[in-house]
Amino acid sequence: MIQVRRDFKFDKSAVLVLLTSEQAKSESVPVKDKALLAELQKAVAAGQFEGNGGELFPAVSGKKLILFVGLGKEKDVNRTALCMAVRRALLSAGLKKVASLEILPHADTAEDAIAIIEAAVIGVYAWKKYVSVKKDDKSVSKKDIFVVASPREEYSAIVKVAENVNFARDLVNENADVVHSLFLEKVVRGIVRGKGNVSLEVLDRKKMLARKFGLLLAVNQGSNKEPRVLIARYRGAGKKEPYTAVVGKGLTFDSGGLNLKPTGHIETMRSDMSGAAAVIAVLKTALELKIKKNIIFACAIAENAIDANAYKPGDVVVGYSGKSVEIGNTDAEGRLVLADVLSYIVDKDKPARIIDIATLTGAVVVALGHDYSGLVSNNDSLAEELLASARATDDRLWRLPNYPELKDSMKSKIADIKNTSNWRGAGGTMTGAEFLRQFVDKTTWAHLDIAGTAFVDNDVRLYYGHGATGVGVRLLTHFFQNN
């Protein structure tokens, strides 16, 4: 449980976590409680604590435990740094067995409170479903956390969004043979069940054949799993209000197909449905927060596996749009499943705007690393709105260009378009996005490439531990709340 309360209680059952910058060495540290200030000054005077970044110092006052947490120089304290510091404190050995604690921010601002909330929910998340619990482990995983700050109405929504970030992470982290298309269909049906303002369209293989979803079906034809397209149409505003569509790539596992992924890359390919997981989590959030927008939530779900029926490099496949596509590489499959769903929604629903989110290219990792997702758009206003939401949520984006000459990079000699670029590996994120752009007609569109940000395969990145990050959930929720 996480609550924000104005009163500083520090009762007998609680541990106090005090966040402070290097102001701890000065008289201006913003601690009003005299007893607590005295303890802080004693620690500083003894040279045990200075407020440096990454510094943790436990102190005992009577029978109460205080954990002083250093944030570093005041000018360097921001939302990300706060989140990282609080995460470090909550995961420290001294707090493992603690069931209840208070966190006192270094300043009473919304930024501080939100960072603490997200650290307490997103930062301490760990996928432990298959880890055996030791009998002598006294750790308390679910804590009562009280953030001392001026209450704001938005904080309860922040908690909900953070919880749904973790909901998306659970979907991605689970085994690929558990989270297949039918599993995700069941999840979405559970989310929308009983809700009067949302309808669900489910396309199975038979319906996709009838609608000529040739690209998505080609990707899935080497798998023994059923493909699915899930489309939830949510009405949070009036009938005359336009719809925005968001489409998530849902490759429940991506072997690369006959262009097999190598060791070192294939092991985390259950994360190739991170776009769909984000879309499902944002649908859940929109219903819970009653977001006042009309939104279409769509997931293109398939598995890129290998058997005798797998699609092959050199094949030409025709999709829903009627365009023929030369298959240059079977590992460029995400753009194929998205192309069918994007063109279907543009044709049937005619949304005012359409956004896709996908673990699309390794090239985005080369370009932007692991802390920024790539953004490509055909509309400056939409791009700036998404960038503003990225800045507001710390779900980071960096815009890459889209320009007319990119169309030439995707030309084929034997089909209307090719799923790989003629640029021999250059500009892969932009050319992958250009392929998608050619299936949205003239609709205002944005593409979010989350291949570098969706999964942490080492120990920690920023305030995320190993595994899925739930990227896109905070970003898209904020976008729909504000645009």
**Which residues belong to the active site?**
261, 335
Helix (H, G, I), strand (E, B) or coil at 152: coil
H helix or E strand, kind and range, residue 464? strand 464-468
Tokens (6 digits) for 264: 């070192």
| Token couple for 293 | 């927008």
How far is it, in rounded angstroms, from Cα 198 to Cα 233? 5
* Per-residue tokens: 163: 């919880």
Determine how β-strand 455-461 pairs with β-strand 464-468.
antiparallel
Strand partners, 354: 245, 445
Place of tokens 């929308």: 192
3 state SS for 51-110: CCCCCEEEEEECCEEEEEEECCCHHHCCHHHHHHHHHHHHCCHHHCCCCEEEEECCCCCH
3-state helix, strand, coil in the chain (%, to 5): 35, 25, 40
Mode of pairing for the β-strands spanning 316-318 and 294-304: unpaired
Measure the CA angle with vertex 230, ends 381 and 245; round to 5°. 10
279 HSE (CA, 13 A, CB side)? 35
